Amino acid sequence: MSPRAPRAVLFDRDGTLVLDVPYNGDPALVQPVPQAAEALARLRAAGIPTAVVTNQSGIARGLLTRADADACHTRLAELVGPLGPVMVCEHGPDDGCACRKPAPGLVLQAAAALGVAPQDCAVVGDIGADVGAALAAGARPVLVPTAVTRQEEVDAAPDVAPDLLAALDLLGVPA
């Protein structure tokens, strides 16, 4: 028996939906990962809303502006289709905010924006901070490792999938 599909799926951006370009503020450099468009289309077809939850400390560091980050989100949506709400933590690692993953703030904000309880959401990401934010908010994490994911993050993740479509399979999202 497959698991009950989540009522919403929240995605990390860099390394999960797009190839990671550190501190990217240039929409021309936005390149979706393989399967990003297909995964989002599958969720839309199943009637499962999505959102993006992304740490963008480059804003706090002065390496890009919020407008730059928003332009990258607009470009991503042009390439893969609607993303749903995009929740951005603009703080640096030492700012002590409640939104920077692994804190739960972005997940809680996205769930509220979608009108879904956090425990009815899944969070798909590529590093331990994504898993930590999901767990802290009461959501279900699925780790999709990349070359930068540390082995201890993989070992600690409750669910691991090799790619985005496998993550949706694991979550019970209809194909």
For residues 64 and 86, what is the distance between their CA atoms, to the nearest angstrom?
17
Strands 8-11, 121-125: pairing kind: parallel
Taking the CA atoms of 136, 174, 143 and 24 in sequence, report the sign of the dihedral they define: negative
For residues 143 and 132, what is the distance between their CA atoms, to the nearest angstrom?
10
Please give the pLDDT value at position 3: 64
Q: Where are the beta strands (DSSP E) in the chain?
A: 8-11, 50-55, 86-89, 121-125, 140-143
- pLDDT tens profile 108-135: 999 999 999 999 999 999 999 999 999 9
139 lies in some domain: yes
106 lies in some domain: yes
162 lies in some domain: yes
CATH number at residue 42: 3.40.50.1000
> Dihedrals φ, ψ of 121, to 5°?
-110, 155
3 lies in some domain: no
For residues 73 and 42, what is the distance between their CA atoms, to the nearest angstrom?
20
For residues 54 and 13, what is the distance between their CA atoms, to the nearest angstrom?
6
The single-letter DSSP state of residue 81 is -
Could you list the residue range(s) of the whole structural domain that residue 124 is in? 8-171
Total domains, the chain = 1
Please give the pLDDT value at position 4: 84
13 lies in some domain: yes
141 lies in some domain: yes
2 lies in some domain: no
3-state class of 121 per DSSP? strand
Q: What is the mean pLDDT of residues 167-173?
A: 97
Taking the CA atoms of 124, 130, 131 and 135 in sequence, report the sign of the dihedral they define: negative
- pLDDT tens profile 47-98: 999 999 999 999 999 999 999 999 999 999 999 999 999 999 999 999 999 9
Q: How far apart are the first and last CA of the chain?
A: 15
29 lies in some domain: yes
Q: Which residues are catalytic?
A: 12, 14
